[in-house]
A = this chain, B = another copy of it.
Amino acid sequence: KVLVTMGSDSDLPLMMKAVDTLRLEFGIPCLVQINSVHRDLRTVVRHIDNLPASVQVIIACAGGAAHLPGNIADLRADLPVIGVPRDLGALKGVDALLSMVQMPEGAPVAVMAIGDAGAVNAAIHAAKELAIAEPAIKERLQAYAEKRKQRVAKQNQTLENKLHMQQ
């Protein structure tokens, strides 16, 4: 249901965070594919033209002059495209962020944070999009949020104990 794609297999460890979040937290299956617009744009066009009809959301990761999500945004006027900028090279992902976020009117890329947080958040945002049509996912999103809330509560509890003991 979600295509998770990236410019190179060096992006894979980062994007597995998105894949795992989708699968394990939200029960959403992924198609994982490498699409390099800077090595083989024609094949990317063919891949994206021929995505299985089950793909409803696309997550695309790239670094540097990160064109992949923007190109897909043009090729698929019918599917939401989420971009994840990689923290890579001398500019630490600022280049990738701007290459993705400053898309002109008409071809949106929905951009997430640079690096790890962005990969996980792309998965959550994709789940939110799919939840519009699938109430079951909405429940899992609520459960996921609940877990996060409990984690803060627990951190506060631990902190209180720790500071108490110091006194």
Contacts from A to B (Cβ < 8 Å)? 7-9, 12, 32-34, 36-43, 45, 56-57, 63-65, 67, 70-71, 73-75, 77-80, 82, 87, 89-117, 120-122, 124-125, 128-133, 138, 141-142, 144-145, 148-149, 151-153, 155-156, 158-159, 163
Contacts and interface: CB of A to CB of B under 8 A. Distances in A.
Contacts of A101: 65, 97, 101, 111-114
Given A112-B101, A115-B89, A116-B105, A34 B142 contact: no
B94 A90 contact: yes
A24 to B, nearest CB: 13
Q: List the number of copies, as a whole number.
A: 8
A39 B151 contact: yes
Given A101-B97, A128-B78, A122 B108 contact: yes
A124 B108 contact: yes
Contacts of A124: 106-108
Contacts of A8: 104, 152, 155
Given A64-B113, A99-B99, A155-B9, A120 B105 contact: yes
A45 B111 CA distance: 25
